[in-house]
Amino acid sequence: MTFLPIVQRELLVAARRHTTYSTRLVVALVSIVIGLFFYVANLRTPKHKLAHYIFDGISVLALLYCLAAGRRSTADCLSEEKREGTLGLLFLTKLRGYDVILGKLVATSVNSFFCLLAIFPVLAVPLLMGGITNGEFWRMVLVLVNTFLFSLAVGIFSSTLSQNARRAMGANFLWFLLLAFTLPACGLAIAYFTSSPPFVLPELLFCCPVYSFYLTFAARYPFEADHFWWSIGIVHSLTWLLIILSSRILPRIWQDRPAEKDKTRLRDRYQRWLYGNPAKRKALRKRLLDINPFLWLAARAWLKPITAWFSLGIIAIWWLIVRAILKSDWHEEMLSFTTALLLNSLLKLWVAVEAGQRLADDQKLGALELLLSTPLTVRDILRGQFLALRRQFLGPLIFVVAVELVLTFAVSSHSVFEPSRGRAFGIASLCLLVVDLASLFWAAIATALTARNPNQASVTTIFRVLILPWLAWITIVTVAEAWLMLHSMREPAWQFYLYLWVCLGLLADAAFGFPAWWRVRTRFRELALQRLSTSKPTN
């Protein structure tokens, strides 16, 4: 029998896929463009500093990619097999746990890993400019690869223990925080609360990939080389530990077994906590079904509105802590701006996830076809989804708008220089908040009808409506400032940045929200049944 047959098969399949090469080319081009932006934005700096800026900027973006791409690739790979009942077929053969685990790792991550490899030649350009050393470059390559493998291992381990897609993603994030940031957080807390000088335990930071990334640069490595290699070794050991545990656990938990009494009791308590006791569920079901049947499907978890308020409470606690640490006034401009940004981002991201989650789940499970065969009309489904979101987010939205209005006028009234600036940015952010929420609602529903899974629908919607305008804004501002610098012209006033931000946001809403609204209103059934249609080859 061939050693690691699934790995061999997946590599052969990946070698025949066009996306294996196209995505690698796209990522390389994006890296080149980002490097050019850093170059243009720092034309007047010396070459060695310019090389450092390019290297640092691309390295930070590559680290964020490694932390996210690996976990996203493997988060639902095994839990999906459990839900579809196909995992047991693999164990009917002579395959072992490590065959399946390593095969899934390769199958889900080969494209992401090739994209990471495409970044390295661009990362080496500052080496040719003379700004960094050979050791600095190769240490960065080692840290990025090590971080990517660790991210993959966290994702495959959480997917081994889960069956539900949403729980797998949640467990993925929690395991990542637990393994990579719990001990560093304890170490930083000890350092913060001890008297001057702070008492630092570097051993508590070794398990965090960000710490090894921090020690990679030439300014830190000569003084803490031992810490760097210890951090690399511990992160790599955690990677293999998670893979070995997954290989040992998977053959023992894929079968459906009778639930134990303790687990059944815990599951019942969780269901009662999420949906309420039987009397509360019955009353809520009757009330929601009388309004709209789909509303009951999307909003039967009574805990959802409470979690929205709970998240706002966490941001309020963060605001109080930051204000106490900085000893600043409650109407301080930067603190108010950061608070408004957090509140807006929380609502937008949450609505983008919730708006299409129910439909995407039904689409994946095949329940959407059954739903469309009932007397429910498309209008009823859309109205029910809108009412579910209104039930969950209307109160928090009103609260956020009120808080931001208070902060906006407080900042403008206490501002010494240009009080109209704070008022203009505050009103513009509130207007964009409302328009973005409407665009996210329709874009999320349209994407959920055609996406392969709920996570893809959410990520696609967020990227199109929220991230793309910011990328365009950063690009235009960077090019404009470089052009003005080359021609020795003055920097534009703040109105330029405000108008550009609003225009790009509205343009993204119009480009993705309006077409999504039209498709959903006119082609809902066609989009929902698109994956069932088979195209016949033409002669």
pLDDT in tens, 481-508: 777 777 777 778 888 888 999 999 999 9
**43-47, 216-220, 302-306: which is most confident:** 216-220
Helical pair 468-486 and 19-41, crossing angle rounded to 10 deg: 40
pLDDT of residue 416: 60
pLDDT of residue 376: 85
Q: Smallest Cα–Cα separation from 74: which of 151, 178, 176, 179?
A: 151
pLDDT of residue 283: 82
Q: What is the pLDDT of residues 378-393, one digit of tens each?
A: 888 999 999 999 988 9
Over the chain, what is the mean pLDDT?
Answer: 81
pLDDT of residue 259: 52
Q: Tell me phi and psi for residue 185, to 5 degrees.
A: -65, -40
* pLDDT, average across residues 52-69: 87
DSSP state string for 206-218: TT-HHHHHHTTST
pLDDT of residue 195: 58
Locate tokens 């350092």: which residue?
Answer: 191
pLDDT of residue 402: 92
Residue 517 has pLDDT above 60, yes or no: yes
Residue 539 has pLDDT above 60, yes or no: no
Distance from C-alpha of 58 to C-alpha of 136, rounded to nearest angstrom: 14
In the chain, the N- to C-terminal Cα span, in Å, equals 42
pLDDT of residue 400: 92
pLDDT band at 535 (very low <50, low <70, confident <90, very high): very low
DSSP state string for 256-308: --PPPHHHHHHHHHHHHHHH--HHHHHHHHHHHHHH-HHHHHHH--TTHHHHH
* pLDDT, average across residues 464-474: 88
Q: What is the pLDDT of residues 397-441, one digit of tens each?
A: 999 999 999 888 888 777 666 777 778 888 999 999 999 999 999
Answer yes or no: are the C-beta atoms of 147 and 236 closer than 8 Å.
no
Q: Where are the alpha helices (DSSP H) in 124-224?
A: 125-129, 134-161, 165-193, 209-214
**162-166, 333-337, 404-408, 526-530: which is most confident:** 404-408
The tokens describing 220, both together, are 């830190």
* pLDDT, average across residues 137-155: 91
pLDDT of residue 534: 46
Q: What CA–CA distances, in Å, run from 235 to 38, 169, 215? A: 31, 21, 14
Q: What is the pLDDT of residues 191-244, one digit of tens each?
A: 766 655 666 677 888 888 988 998 998 888 888 889 999 999 999 999 999 889
Cβ count within 10 A of residue 319: 18
Q: Smallest Cα–Cα separation from 293: which of 172, 376, 233, 370?
A: 376
User: 3-state DSSP helix/strand/coil percent for the chain, to nearest 5?
Assistant: 80, 0, 20
* pLDDT, average across residues 90-97: 71
| 339 Cβ neighbours under 8 A, 6+ residues apart | 315, 319, 403, 407
Residue 458 has pLDDT above 90, yes or no: no
Cβ count within 10 A of residue 158: 27
415 vs 348: which has the higher pLDDT: 348
pLDDT of residue 536: 40
| 24 Cβ neighbours under 8 A, 6+ residues apart | 111, 114, 115, 117, 118
Cβ count within 10 A of residue 118: 19
Distance from C-alpha of 459 to C-alpha of 106, rounded to nearest angstrom: 22
Answer yes or no: are the C-beta atoms of 107 and 17 closer than 8 Å.
no
* pLDDT, average across residues 509-527: 91
pLDDT band at 473 (very low <50, low <70, confident <90, very high): confident
**If DSSP codes are grouped into helix, strand and coil, which group holds residue 122?**
helix
